[in-house]
Structure 1
Amino acid sequence: MPEKDSPNVDSEINIQVFHSLLLQEIVHAIAMVPSLNDVPVHYLKPNSLVKFRCMVQDMFDPEFYMGVYETVDPNTNARVLHFGKYRDVAECGPQQEIDLNSSQTVTSERQTFYCVPVPGESAWVYESWDSFKVNDVLEVYGILSVDPVLSIVNSEESYARRDVLPLGKFTVNLSGCPRNSIFTEHIYRIIQQLVPASYRLQMTIENMNHSRFIPHKDYTANRLVSGVLQLASNTSLVVDETQLEQGQLDTTGVHNVTALGNLITWQKVDYDFSYHQMEFPCNINILITSEGRSLLPSDCQVHLQPQIIPPNMEEYMNSLLTAVLPSVLNKFRIYLSLLRLLDYSISDEVTKAVEEDFVEMRKNDPESITADDLHRTLLVARFLSLSAGQTTLSRERWLRAKQLEALRKARLQQQKCVNGNEL
């Protein structure tokens, strides 16, 4: 009986070395690992350790793989033990065959994911596998596999909630924006500098009729084909309606507008699996810019009333960005990020006061004050409180929120009087 060769443990050694480096100097070790986001694949060595900042775009059924397998040379009966844990394809030399009947063969199961770069992630940004789901953002460390067999897959096309209104969502419609100008583009540029991930959707007839908004399942390639609305949690979506021109929406366009409306109202996207729809809840911050009131639903319409209109809008907006020091800009980012993590509550005392106040408001103006007004004013009060670092609602913040809502409604009423059916 020929003597067995030493096991091929290159991948195992790579992982062990990496774990040791992490324990010694974690920051230095992470910096040493090349990133697929920054380095072209053809510059990287196959079977080497890499990292990838990505979003889970699709989840496949669990797959079985040979964790340990043995190959045999039919001519010499020489046997070699291999580890397949960090490989996509079992390796076999030109004169070797895989011995599926070997007692050394161990079959294991693993969850598989299809990941893509995070859509709209800002350039300044950077557990258990069972906890990951579609549209999660993660940074993966693993062994780079560039086996040609994997290219057979067609790569041409290469978020506890019930069916009620999601609490806390606050889609804002910023109306009064100049039509067909660079105003929205510059607003988006500012947002890009403040949030980790953002996406600008130009709402044109062309985009509505020809873009794919909803992801769909390609059963031939066994791949979930991405859509515009498949975005990572907490992405800031800017819908530019100032680009909308006259024209006819076709069937695709109507479906896309409906999907966008469902995202705004219900914070969910129904993925198309051909034979059925699968609902994916999401958490997207949405800002709609428009000339008049948006055609899309929103939680709050704020109409712009500029005191001055700069003669050169592009020069003026550029000056706003260049006037802010990078260190100050970074403080803005930290400030906005921390506010999302703060707990918020309303005491029983303030809750009772708000309820009594709302009853009085209904008595004075029963036709105009609705439950939606109460919900919106409570959200404004929450944002006001958190913006000042206060994690509980005070009487003063509630009164200020009421004042802001009154001013906002008065401005909209003025616009209605000026432009007739503007609202």
Structure 2
Amino acid sequence: MDIQNCTPEQWYKNENNWLEVLENESIWNQIPLLNVNELHNLKDSRLVRFRGMIQDMHGPEFYLEKFEVRNEDTQGITVKFGKYVDICDYRPNETVIMEGENIRSERQTYVAISIPAINSWVKKIEEERFKILSTPTPSTSSECIQLKRSLEEMEVDHTEPQPAEQSNVANKKQRTELSKPETESVVSQEHLLNFPIPDPSGRVCHLKVYRNAELLKLNSVCEFVGFLSVNPSLVCQNMDEGADEVEFQVHNPPPSLIPKLHCVHFKHLPHNNPLVNERGMVPERMQYIKKELLILLTQLLFGDELTAEYMIYHLISEVYLRKDFMAIGKFSLNVSNIPKIENLDYVQELYKFLTLLLTKSHYIAMSLENMNELTFIPKKDYTSNRLTSSVLQLSSNTHLVLDETKLSTGKLNETGINGVKALANAIKNQKTMYDFTYYQLEFDCDIPFLILSEGKSMLPSDVHIVLEPDEMHLNTFNEILEAARHFLKPDLLNEMRLYITQAKLTQYEITDGIQELVQNEFVNMRQKGNVSGDDLHNLLVLARLVCISQGKNTLNPECWKQACSLEEARKERIKKTVKQ
């Protein structure tokens, strides 16, 4: 079965068999990846893949899955199929038999965007693997006509929910002339793309989902396989009488800019690291790579090994459980006492190295201008009938680096105040507020925050550590940066990238025996000094990170004691700073 040349009609007639073919991972990976290929190199109505994040959810569409047409010349009756297509080969001399044995169905519609804040090394690997070098012959079919009907003409039961946009179904009364010029756009390209973080190489797809749509959640990351819909005649579709022009253009953008994808199957992606393979990394190798990573970060943090340890734990942290409204596993880190170096932006230099290690990250300079202009809260735009994205609409495990060293004196406006509140809420509760004008909704997120500041941050954090720079490292930091670049040989760098993702994927547990040890230790701590339940929670989170950083999936006494020692040293620094 040649899946590369499968048509929507062939898929519809033999769907179960085609789905079995897709279970073969090598065949799945042979399907062209839309993210790294130009649209003109991909054929209309052929299967493509798209990796993306669900950015918005539109209403359902109603369409004719199967319908009969009559040839007016011969009076012959033919069965046509409307599933997985926007446009059918519906001829000018054919008429839909509305009283025929037609099947009416519903499909869900979504907007998916390229994974936000994805770093360049990930894109480069994907391009090397999936970029198409040859240009296929474009389709020259000129007799395809768009099929669209209003819901009223479909005689839909009034108890069914009303869709946000109308579907493309058979209707000879609304045939579109292919020669009709495209209407002038009143909406900018930037507005149509609607990225939370600007991405020159980013892609947007309007998805039509026919099965398992309930599994798709806002901001979830998936890889979709579906039939590409980029027929030029899509730009000529008629706007319904009384419809808003802005909304119509947002929901029906030019296919050359935003194609449609009729999804036949999708799978959730637990990560987007292209280096991860089935073999993974053995614990002994993970321990070696951790030591190498510790050497690198210690040098970048002015010789401060304790802060470098906490940085590693921050990089491999994620929310692994939600219980009683708590996001367990979050490990936002505030590194204070960041020094100023003449003729060098230290935070920017550190961030450059983090982008080499992480699959997804974004840097925000918390200057007064940025805070007063950036939008952190996604908002429903009722004019366009869509969700306007914002900086905090990100997929899980997207690292945000907040640079508080850029703070300056001045007054925050309403946007700035709301931005600080949104950041604080996301850090503290791992939830992002969405503004629907008449009400607000909170959505779970999993964004590891790294806050770099001169004094203790004005934002909350799970862990605050005071950086202790070594004088020699301060004086020779330019040379250290150059040495760090030479240290990161390609093979070692790839192993560090794999290490961070592998640690996150480690299945972790605590045995009954260790639980008893932890309880006894905590009782001893309470007897010696002022230790709270929050301290125990933080220790358990840190102990887990210490454990998985070494490639171990079960907590042992050594990892627990190491976590206790780290916390003791960290708190001692804070006390010393307060006394000074």
Indicate whether the TM-score tops 0.5: yes
Give, in whole Å, the separation in 2 of the partners of 1:54 and 1:179.
39
1:148 match: 235
Answer whether contact 1:179 1:290 (CA < 8 A) is retained. no
Q: Is 1:88 aligned to residue 86 of structure 2?
A: yes
- Among 492, 514, 531, the residue aligned to 1:328: 492
Of 76-85 and 373-382, more deviation after overlay is shown by 76-85
- 2:171 aligns to what? none
Q: Distance in 2 between matches of 1:283 and 1:398?
A: 25
- Would you say the 8 A contact 1:14–1:49 is kept in 2? no
Match of 2:572 among 397, 401, 410: 410
Output the CA distance in 2 between the equivalents of 1:312 and 1:90: 68
Are the equivalent residues in 2 in contact too, given 1:14–1:48 (CA < 8 A)?
A: no
Residue 3 of structure 1 is matched in structure 2 by: none
Distance 1:347 1:336, change over 3 A: same
CA contact (8 A) 1:58 1:134 kept: yes
Are the structure 2 counterparts of residues 89 and 209 from structure 1 closer, same or farther at C-alpha, using a change threshold of 3 Å? farther
1:69 to partner: Cα distance = 2.7
For residues 537 and 106 of structure 2, the distance between their equivalents in structure 1, rounded to whole angstroms, comes to 48
Alpha-carbon shift at residue 50 of structure 1 (Å): 1.8
Instruction: Give the Cα separation in 1 of the matches to 2:218 and 2:476.
Output: 44
User: Deviations 1:351-403 (Å, cap 9, x if unpaired)?
Assistant: 3333333233233323xx32222222222222112222232322232222222
Q: Which residue of 2 aligns with 1:343?
A: 507
Other structure's SS at 1:328 match = helix
Report how far residue 136 of structure 1 moved. Answer: 0.9
Please give the secondary structure, in 2, of the residue aligned with 1:81: strand
- Any idea what SS the aligned residue of 2:357 has? coil
SS in 2 for 1:177: coil
Secondary structure class of the residue paired with 1:47: coil
Q: Residue deviations 1:158-210, cap 9 Å, x none?
A: 99946633222111111122359532223322222223222222222222211
Partner of 1:58: 56
How far 1:407 sits from its partner (Å)? 1.1
Give the letter for the 2:221 counterpart: V
Q: Answer yes or no: is 1:116 the counterpart of 2:113.
A: yes
Once the 2 structures are TM-superposed, how far is the Cα of residue 11 of structure 1 from its aligned partner?
Answer: 2.2
Cα distance, 1:225 vs. partner? 1.4
Residue in structure 2 matched with residue 275 of structure 1 by the alignment: 438
**Quick check: 1:173 aligned with 2:334?**
yes
Say whether the 8 Å CA contact 2:426–2:432 is kept in structure 1. yes
Moved more, 309-318 or 134-143: 309-318
The aligned counterpart of 2:216 is: 132
Unmatched segments (≥5 aa) in structure 2: 1-5, 127-210, 238-247, 259-318
* SS of match in other structure, 1:410: helix
Q: 1:89 to 1:217 in 2, by over 3 A?
A: farther
Q: 1:38 to 1:315 in 2, by over 3 A?
A: farther
Q: 2: distance between equivalents of 1:345 and 1:45?
A: 48
2:249 maps to amino acid: I
- Cα separation, 2, equivalents of 1:313 and 1:90: 64
Structure 1 residues 89 and 211 mapped into 2: Cα distance closer, same or farther (>3 Å)? farther
1:308-319 aligned at under 5 Å gives the runs: 308-311=472-475, 313=477, 316-319=480-483
Aligned amino acid, residue 388 of structure 2: V
SS at match of 1:101: coil
SS, match of residue 443 in structure 2: strand
**Cα distance change, pair 102–351 in 1 and its aligned pair in 2 (3 A):** same
Residues in 1 aligned to 2:479 and 2:89: alpha-carbon distance in whole angstroms: 59
Aligned match for 2:555, one of 390, 393, 413: 393
Aligned to 2:458: 295
The TM-score with structure 2 as length reference comes to 0.63
TM-aligned CA deviation for residue 112 of structure 1: 1.8
Listed as ranges, the gaps of 5+ residues in structure 1 are: 1-8, 419-423
Q: Give the secondary-structure state (helix, strand or coil) at the position aligned to 2:326.
A: coil
Q: Which of 402, 405, 417 matches 1:239? A: 402
1:8-67: CA deviation from partner (whole Å, max 9, x where unpaired): x94223787997698499566445433221223244332232221110111223322111
Q: Secondary structure at the match of 2:328?
A: coil
Structure 2 CA distance for partners of 1:19 and 1:321, relative to 1, 3 Å: farther
Partner of 1:354: 518
Q: Is the CA contact 1:236–1:284 (under 8 Å) kept in the aligned structure 2?
A: yes
1:379 to 520, 530, 541: 541
User: For 2:426, which of 263, 267, 271 is the aligned residue?
Assistant: 263
How far apart are residue 261 of structure 1 and its match? 0.6
User: Residue 221 of structure 1 aligns with which residue?
Assistant: 384
Q: Percent identity?
A: 37
TM-score by length of 1: 0.85
Equivalences, count: 406
Secondary structure of residue in 2 paired with 1:196 = coil
